[in-house]
Amino acid sequence: MGTREGPERPAAGAAPGEDVLAGRRAVVEALRAGRPLRKVLVSRGAHGDAVREIIHEARRRGITVQFVEPRHLHGGSEAQGVLGLAAVRPMVEVDDILAAAARRGEPPFILVLDSVEDPANLGALIRTADGAGVHGVIIPRHRAAGLTSAVARASAGAVEHVSVAVVTNLVRALEDLKRSGLWVVGTGMGAAQLYHEARLLPPLAVVMGGEGRGLSRLVSEHCDLLVRLPMRGHIESLNVSVAAGILLYDIVRQIAGTSAGNPGPPRAHRE
pLDDT in tens, 178-223: 999 999 999 988 888 999 999 999 999 999 998 777 899 999 999 9
- Of the pLDDT bands very low, low, confident and very high (cuts 50, 70, 90), residue 6 is very low
Helices (H), 132-269: 149-154, 170-179, 217-221, 240-259
Contact between 62 and 39 (Cβ < 8 Å):
no
pTM above 0.85, yes or no: no
Cβ count near 49 (within 10 Å): 8
Residue 126: per-residue pLDDT? 96
Residue 74: per-residue pLDDT? 66
Q: Decide if pLDDT at 8 tops 60.
A: no
Q: Is the model more confident about 122 or about 10?
A: 122
Question: Does an H or E element contain 101, and which?
Answer: helix 94-103
- On the question of a cis peptide bond just before residue 202, with omega within 30 degrees of 0, the verdict is no
User: Chain-wide mean pLDDT for the chain?
Assistant: 84
**Cα 232 to Cα 24: distance, rounded to the nearest angstrom:** 39
Cα distances from 82 to residues 76, 132, 210, 215, in angstroms, run 10, 29, 31, 38
Q: Decide if pLDDT at 97 tops 90.
A: yes
What's the rounded mean pLDDT across residues 228-253? 90
Residue 12: per-residue pLDDT? 36
- The one-letter amino acid at 25: R
Q: What tens digit of pLDDT does each residue of 21-73 get?
A: 888 998 999 898 888 787 899 988 888 888 899 999 999 988 889 898 877 77
Residue 173: per-residue pLDDT? 97
Q: What sign results for the dihedral spanned by CA atoms 12, 158, 161, 91?
A: negative
Cβ count near 53 (within 10 Å): 15
- Of the pLDDT bands very low, low, confident and very high (cuts 50, 70, 90), residue 268 is low
Report DSSP state, residue 203: S
Contact between 210 and 117 (Cβ < 8 Å):
yes
Q: Looking at 118-132, 138-152, 189-203, which range is the least confident one?
A: 138-152
Q: Is the model more confident about 85 or about 178?
A: 178
246 burial (CB, 10 Å; 0-12 / 13-18 / 19+) is: middle
Q: What tens digit of pLDDT does each residue of 151-176 get?
A: 888 898 898 899 999 899 999 999 99
User: Dihedrals φ, ψ of 3, to 5°?
Assistant: -115, 135
**Cα 178 to Cα 170: distance, rounded to the nearest angstrom:** 12
Spell out the domains of the chain, with CATH numbers in brackets: 3-87 (3.30.1330.30), 94-259 (3.40.1280.10)
Residue 7: per-residue pLDDT? 38
